[in-house]
């Protein structure tokens, strides 16, 4: 079928961030906006003629319509085939697995992750490379360059494809294969974990609550946790994906998953609690009466990973994003394996995973994963926790308290100052950057600054350099404060303040994090002058 060439003009602001391009849904639905960006992806990766792509998303508003547009653009650009999740649905880790399983030329994942969905909320799109991971900077730079010079896009005139029926069909000359979004991913999980041990755990009366937050993980969690492993029916709640995530905010943290937190802190709490986000790549872990920070979860999983068959031979190494606490570093030291500190963004783990330098990696924003895919994976983390609980026959609280007794506790918190006027946020950040040379030796709130720096990263695999990745103020005694400008929002700017302090006193390992970090918080605010620059005297969200 001859493609239809549509004349267009470049649209400002189509620069992908750490997780693709995210904008308000209405922006993506604007004239030529999605078409321009998809064509720029195709042009930026050298074209898609004769290639195969995976396409799917988290089911948020505009997901199904956007897939129809993308399919016609792929056909117009000569793609050989696309593999699409039934009804347009694919979790981000499941999409990564399909790319790798089928050896495709990459994929397009439609999601704004943990951001709200709906006609007045957020939408996103990112390109993942043939290794299944998010495109690295050298690829996203080419895509962005293409968005600034685009003058036409190629599509075909055709009716919508049937996304609901499994099997193959044709769109012009291109083959469209509609696949079960859960089946291949479920098979992968069964190959990694001791399902028999987890089944026995549930058969013993073990209880759990998994909050899918009206998002994509619901069908996956129901099929694996309830139908396969034997968790009681109803263990998975909010399990049906909704275009607006049930009117909620699909971010698995104690603020947005408060109903789960309240249940887990109650007198009749289940043994284990978990939640996942909009596209299924993040997780929150809780036990009866305890919330586990993502940094602590990463460290615990690394320390006990050999409980699962896939990791029984030990770990090659671990990696964490720079703002993530150093708890996993001490695990790596004990195990005698490498530990890497990377910039924020899952794409920075890709080279390490591909090179076999690390087995497990994670970031403080509730993402953990391993070599099984090239994305973070919320349900994978939940299953690894269940495998560990089954093998150790311990509670979540006992596991964490024993871990802290053994390794010390990195008290940790993130304070988010959201929707700040962009100019004010950048002024705050730039002022701290300018002050870096003068900070060492200063004392604030009883803490003396040991060092101050702007984080940069040299990739040990390909030698690429990434500068300006966040500002670090380290204090004597191992405490630190990190300031970053987030790239995942769609309105204004978000300042993220990360706070950390190591405690090794056995009598001080079970305190309240905000109290334990009170001096670090005061020192950070005195140095960074967030209120003076932004007018905000308190964060919007504390996790």
Q: Hey, what are 308's tokens?
A: 């699962």
> Cβ(496)–Cβ(349) under 8 Å?
no
> Cβ(81)–Cβ(176) under 8 Å?
yes
Tell me the HSE value of 404 on the side-chain side, using a 13 A CA sphere: 23
Backbone torsions φ then ψ of 454, nearest 5 degrees:
-105, 125
CA-angle at 160, arms to 154 and 164, nearest 5° = 130
Q: For the chain, give me the number of helices (H) and strands (E)?
A: 18, 27
Cα separation, 289 vs 271, in Å, equals 9
Cα separation, 473 vs 437, in Å, equals 11
Helix H or strand E segment including 127: strand 122-128
Burial class (CB in 10 A: 0-12, 13-18, 19+), 332: buried
User: Which residues are tagged catalytic?
Assistant: 113
> Cβ(249)–Cβ(194) under 8 Å?
no
CA distances to 146, 260, 392, 444, 543 from 269, rounded to whole Å, are 53, 10, 20, 41, 21
> Cβ(318)–Cβ(416) under 8 Å?
no
3-state secondary structure 334-356: HHCCEEEEECCCCHHHHHHHHCC
**Which residue shows structure tokens 């960074």?**
528
Cα separation, 219 vs 100, in Å, equals 21
> Cβ(14)–Cβ(22) under 8 Å?
no
- DSSP characters for 251-279? --STTTTHHHHHHHTSTT--SEEEEE-TT
């Amino acid at each position: 079928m001859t493609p239809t060439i549509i004349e267009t003009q470049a649209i400002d602001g189509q620069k992908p961030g750490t997780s693709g391009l995210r904008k308000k849904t209405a922006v993506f639905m604007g004239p030529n906006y999605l078409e321009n960006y998809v064509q720029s992806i195709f042009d930026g990766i050298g074209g898609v003629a004769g290639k195969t792509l995976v396409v799917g998303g988290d089911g948020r508003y505009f997901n199904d319509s956007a897939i129809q547009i993308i399919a016609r653009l792929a056909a117009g650009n000569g793609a050989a085939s696309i593999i699409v999740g039934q009804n347009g649905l694919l979790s981000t880790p499941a999409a990564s697995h399909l790319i790798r399983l089928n050896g495709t030329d990459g994929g397009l994942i439609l999601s704004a992750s943990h951001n709200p969905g709906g006609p007045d909320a957020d939408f996103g799109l990112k390109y993942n490379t043939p290794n299944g991971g998010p495109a690295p900077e050298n690829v996203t730079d080419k895509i962005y360059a293409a968005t600034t010079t685009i003058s036409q896009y190629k599509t075909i005139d055709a009716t919508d494809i049937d996304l609901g029926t499994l099997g193959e069909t044709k769109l012009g000359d291109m083959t469209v294969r509609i696949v079960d979004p859960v089946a291949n991913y479920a098979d992968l999980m069964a190959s990694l974990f001791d399902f028999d041990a987890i089944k026995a755990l549930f058969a013993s009366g073990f209880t759990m609550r998994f909050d899918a937050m009206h998002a994509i993980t619901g069908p996956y969690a129901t099929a694996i946790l309830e139908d396969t492993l034997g968790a009681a029916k109803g263990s998975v709640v909010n399990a049906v994906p909704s275009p607006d995530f049930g009117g909620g905010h699909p971010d698995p943290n104690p603020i947005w998953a408060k109903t789960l937190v309240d249940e887990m802190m109650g007198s009749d709490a289940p043994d284990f609690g978990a939640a996942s986000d909009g596209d299924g790549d993040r997780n929150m872990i809780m036990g009866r009466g305890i919330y586990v920070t993502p940094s602590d979860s990463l460290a615990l999983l690394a320390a006990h990973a050999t409980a699962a068959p896939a990791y029984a031979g030990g770990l090659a190494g671990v990696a964490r994003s720079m703002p993530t606490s150093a708890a996993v570093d001490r695990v790596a030291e004990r195990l005698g394996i490498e530990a890497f500190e990377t910039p924020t963004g899952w794409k920075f783990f890709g080279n390490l995973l591909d090179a076999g330098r690390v087995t497990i990696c994670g970031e403080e924003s509730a993402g953990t994963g391993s070599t099984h895919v090239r994305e973070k994976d919320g349900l994978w983390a939940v299953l690894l926790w269940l495998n560990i609980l089954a093998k150790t026959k311990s509670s979540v609280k006992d596991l964490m308290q024993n871990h802290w007794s053994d390794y010390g506790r990195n008290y940790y918190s993130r304070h988010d100052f959201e929707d700040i006027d962009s100019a004010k946020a950048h002024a705050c950040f730039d002022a701290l950057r300018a002050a870096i040379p003068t900070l060492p030796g200063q004392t604030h709130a009883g803490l003396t600054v040991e060092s101050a720096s702007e984080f940069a990263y040299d990739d040990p695999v390909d030698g690429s350099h990434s500068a300006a990745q966040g500002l670090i103020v380290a204090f004597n005694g191992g405490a630190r404060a990190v300031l970053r400008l987030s790239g995942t929002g769609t309105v204004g700017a978000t300042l993220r303040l990360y706070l950390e302090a190591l405690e090794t006193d056995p009598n001080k390992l079970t305190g309240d994090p905000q109290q334990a970090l009170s001096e670090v918080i005061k020192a950070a605010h005195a140095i960074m002058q967030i209120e003076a620059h932004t007018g905000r005297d308190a964060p919007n969200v504390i996790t």
